[in-house]
Structure formats: C-alpha cells, structure tokens
Amino acid sequence: MAVIVREKVKGSGEWWVFVNHKKKRKSKKIGDKKTANNVAKAIREKLAKGDLGMLRKKRPGFAKYGQEWLDSPLREQAESTLAKYQEAFDLHIKPHFGSKSLDEIKRRHVKAFIGKLRGRKLSTSRSQVILSVLSGIFENAVEDEIVDFNPCQKVRKYCGKDARKKINHLTATESQETLNNARKLKFVVYAAYLVAVRTGLRLGELLALEWTDFDFENRTVEVSKTYDYHLYQTRPPKNNKTRKVDLTPTSVEALRKLRKHSKVTSISGLVFTDDKGKRLNYAYLERKLKEVAPRPVRFHSLLHSYANLRISKGDNILDVSKQLGHHSVAFTIDRYGHWMPGEHKGQVDELDSLHLSAPYTHLGESEKG
C-alpha cells in the first residue's frame, strides 16, 4: 500500500494525493500541503480497514446510461418498439431508478420495483415489457464492463401470469358471410378482406404491398415490408424477415381484376389504394369490417381466422407458421395449438395392426415358456 503526497508540478503550490494499492491506482488534486496530508492519512486508515471506496471506478448514473442505450444506433428495432420502450423508461423506470448509479441497483431493488408495478395493477405483459427494458440496459452495461452482473436475471417470474385471452376469430361460415357482405363495398375493399382471410397477412403488410411483389403464375406474394400506420412509414416486416406467402386461385383472380381496373400507369405502385391512388386508410378498413362482419371483430381477427381455418382442418402446422411469419413453430403451437384436431382415435387404433418386430410384441409365444 502506498499513499503519497506531493506537488505534481514543483513550485505550483497544488498538492496531490497518489494512491497505489494492490495494482489499483488513483490520484486526486487536493490543494495545500496540510490538507493533502490530512486526506492521505484518512485514506491510509480506510485502506487498512479494507475500504476500497476511493479506488472504485465511478459508475455512470442510471438515468443517463439508460437513455444512451435507448438512443444507441446499434439497436435494430422497429420504431414502434422503440417508442414503446421509451415510454416504459420515461413513465416507470427512470422515476424509480433515475437517481441511482448503475452499481447501486441490486436484485432486491428490482424485485421491489416489480412489486410496485403490480401494485399499480399493470398487466403482466406490460410489466414484462418494462422489465425487458430494464434488463436490456443492464445487459448492455455488463457488455460494457461497467457492472459485473444483471440484477434482472431470474426475476421475470415475479411479474405474474396473465390469463390467456380468448382469440377473437371468425369461423369458416362467418368468414364467408363477411366476404359475401363485403361484395357490396368498393371492390378494392372486398379484395383486401379476401386476401387477408386467404393469406393471414397483417394490415400493415397488406397496405405495404406493391404489384411487383406478386407472382401470379406461381400464385405467391413476397412480403418484404410493412406499413406502420401509427408512424406513417414503411419498415421491414415481422421479425425483419422476408417471406413468400401462397395465394389461392380466388385471391389471384380478384387481384388480377383489381390490377386491371386500378389507375396504375406502370407495373409498380401500391395495390390497395383509394380512388385518388393513395394508400387505403387503416381506420377506414377497420370501420368497414364492422359493417360487414356478423359480429364485432378487428382486422387482425382475419389473421386469426386464417390460422383457425387451416389448423382446424389439419394442415401442416409448420407451413402455417411460415406463412404467418412467426419466428418459430413453437410460438404458433403455443398460440393456436388448441385448434389442432384431436379426434385421432382411429389413427391410434391402427397401431395394433402394424407388423411390429420387437420381441415383446409376441406375448403369446413368450407366455408358453
């Protein structure tokens, strides 16, 4: 342990304290020599007691670091997601942790914070989003070697569980009734509902479609973008992945008819537009859907209806997952697995008629011995 008092520049009258302890070094300008000697004495006493507080690197404040993480250009997330994260930070996280430095926040503080969120009667999903933002900040701080661990690890369970919300979808009969009723609307609106029910495209994906995205010969459409109708801008689709979606013959027929009668001067251009060639308004599509559907549903319910129609009739769940653009088939099963047909007793019975070769299948012969 070495604690030295000296002028950094001889004759300057400015005295410094230099500390060198267990390969850790720190220096600080104090002022006059007498005060510097007193500070040095106090430091020696603290170091002797094992107090390394003076040698610890000062950690950045949580509020400043958290905002820097949100503003980082390295984070590749949709604008809508970033807006949701910023709101969580401003309304809940910053007011609670903003006055602390990163290293002051421990697991017990995070657990207490979650308890506070639950006390506000926030939904589990909302609390989990807030916790994800908080955890993301600390995960980045660990990568930056500012803190040694993420205090948000293994605390997600304290957010509780939301009761699974019932998925509002249309049955096959209701879907057809909706499309029949939609025929009295403008053809472009009818075509939009038809494509949605037959492909499972989301409203933003539908509104972003251009004629060059279609391959009518192979009956496919390439979904490479989505229109964020809250931020009024086009961005990459769900999970940032381009996918090809199959079209039914009826869908292709309707799209060809729409293409023929649209006021388009080239092969490019938006597909679903109004009489002036502008993108259809999302609120208009939502409102008209309420007029033609047999019961209240949102446009997103058409996606659920597509999933229900395909899964209920026993279609390949992996293909359904790919068509919908889900990040994994596990997510699709978790969300829609209860619609998978369960009447397979006949298939189970067929096991008795299989020509199995394992020794234990010939119980009669084994019993003779």
| Shared domain check, 197 and 140 | no
189 & 94 share domain: no
Residues 98 and 218 in one domain: no
How far is it, in rounded angstroms, from Cα 198 to Cα 248? 7
CA distance 258 to 169: 27
> Among 15, 8, 10, 57, which residue's Cα sits nearest to residue 38?
15
Strand partners, 24: 21
Predicted local distance difference test score (pLDDT) of residue 358: 46
Q: Is the dihedral of CA 68, 72, 75, 77 positive or negative?
A: positive
Q: Domain end: 115, 134, 159, which one? A: 159
Q: Are 42 and 56 in contact (CB under 8 A)?
A: no
> And the tokens for 208?
């972003």
Structure-block tokens of residue 35: 């005060």
- The answer to whether residues 17 and 121 belong to one domain is no
What integer pLDDT is reported at residue 95 of this predicted model?
Answer: 95
- 177 and 322 share one domain: yes
> Distance between CA 182 and CA 188 in Å, rounded?
10
Residue-level pLDDT at 112: 94
> Which of 101, 133, 159 is the endpoint of a domain?
159
Q: Are residues 200 and 66 in the same domain?
A: no
Give alpha helix (H) positions in 262-316.
Answer: 282-292, 300-312
Residues 201 and 335 in one domain: yes
Identify whether 369 is part of a domain. Answer: no
Q: Which amino acid is at 122?
A: L
Residue 242 lies in a domain: yes
Query: Given this model, what pLDDT does residue 367 score?
Result: 44
- 4 φ, ψ to 5°? -120, 140
Are residues 148 and 243 located together in one domain of the fold?
A: no
pTM tops 0.75, yes or no: no
CA–CA distance, 30 with 45 (Å, rounded to integer)? 18
Same-domain status, 131 and 220: no
pLDDT by residue for the chain (369 residues), tens only, comes to: 578 888 877 878 888 888 877 667 777 777 788 888 888 888 887 777 665 555 455 678 999 999 999 998 877 666 778 888 999 999 999 999 999 999 899 999 999 999 999 888 888 888 999 999 999 999 999 888 888 889 998 898 888 876 566 889 999 999 999 999 999 999 999 999 999 999 999 999 999 999 999 999 999 999 999 998 877 888 888 777 899 999 999 999 999 999 988 765 455 689 999 988 899 999 999 999 999 999 999 999 999 999 999 999 889 999 999 999 998 899 899 888 888 886 555 555 666 655 544 444 444 444 444
How many degrees, rounded to 5, is the angle at CA 314 between CA 311 and CA 317? Answer: 55
Estimate to the nearest angstrom the gap between the alpha carbon of 54 and the chain centroid: 41
Domain end, chosen from 159, 192, 221, is at 159
131 and 22 fall within a common domain: no
Give the pairing of strands 226-228 and 233-235. Answer: antiparallel
Same domain? For 153 and 192 the reply is no
Structural domain range at position 275: 172-339
